[in-house]
Amino acid sequence: MSVRSVLRMGDPRLLQVCEPVAAFNTPELHTLVRDMFDTMREQRGAGLAAIQIGVALRVVIFGFESDTRAGDCESVPETILINPQIKPLSTQQELAWEGCLSVPGMRGLVPRYSHVTYRGFDVRGDVIERQVRGFHARVVQHECDHLDGILYPRRLPDLTYFGFVEELDASGVMTAGVLPCEDDRCQPTRADPLR
């Protein structure tokens, strides 16, 4: 087991565009993925990108059982996704609270596409292709943003809904009902944070 330290916002490495993986099923790639899972579990995250542990490759992992996280958040299958591509299947977006292991202790209300298809490879180079909605779609979009150097604060449409999780919890804003969105179709889904 090897838990690695997670880079935090402000570290310029988090802003870089990561390189595609060229060789699959190598010992180095297996070690990287294992370290990512060890780190994500130890930090109780829902996902992690390789660059968050300082490796500038297009590798993300995500997934958890619904009962391992607070709230009644849907399960997302444990997935390793390498060289991923995401396509929205409609223009519909939804707002929900997100967090990030690289922005510890904070949450923001982020719009994401509701329904996407994603395609990539597993660690052996086999194709993974899925159509997903809701929280699964959100996690993939959040993690894949890391590969292009984008942290979720850059996606925030309204900085009113960005702050420290303890304060947001105390004020009740994270469990408030309807929150504003630019798009009429955009409705908040739930108050569960994504880490």
Between 100 and 109, name the residue whose CB sits nearer to Ni ion. 100
CA gyration radius for the chain? Answer: 16
- In the complex, least distance from residue 27 CB atom to Ni ion, rounded to whole angstroms: 26
For 183-195, letters b (16+ CB in 10 Å) and e give eeebebbbbbbbb
Size of the site for Ni ion (CB under 5 A): 1
**3-state percent helix, strand, coil for the chain, nearest multiple of 5:** 30, 30, 40
Between 94 and 143, name the residue whose CB sits nearer to Ni ion. 143
Q: Which of 19, 28, 78, 143 is catalytic?
A: 143
**Both ends of the chain: CA-CA distance in Å?**
21
- In the complex, least distance from residue 185 CB atom to Ni ion, rounded to whole angstroms: 26
* Cα 64 to Cα 43: distance, rounded to the nearest angstrom: 13
Backbone angles phi, psi at 188, to 5 degrees: -65, 140
Position among 53, 80, 86, 100 found at the interface with Ni ion (CB under 5 A):
100
- In the complex, least distance from residue 156 CB atom to Ni ion, rounded to whole angstroms: 14
Residues between 71 and 90 that touch Ni ion (CB under 5 A): none
Q: Is 143 a catalytic residue?
A: yes
Q: In the chain, which ranges are continuous DSSP H helix?
A: 27-42, 134-147, 165-171
- In the complex, least distance from residue 39 CB atom to Ni ion, rounded to whole angstroms: 12
Q: Which residue is nearest to Ni ion (CB)?
A: 100
Between 102 and 114, name the residue whose CB sits nearer to Ni ion. 102
Between 40 and 116, name the residue whose CB sits nearer to Ni ion. 40
The side-by-side arrangement of strands in the sheet containing 93-98 is 93-98, 106-113, 162-164
Task: Tell me the window of 7-15, 67-75, 98-106, 128-136 that interacts with Ni ion (CB under 5 A).
Answer: 98-106
> Which sequence positions are flagged as catalytic?
143
Interface positions with Ni ion (CB under 5 A): 100
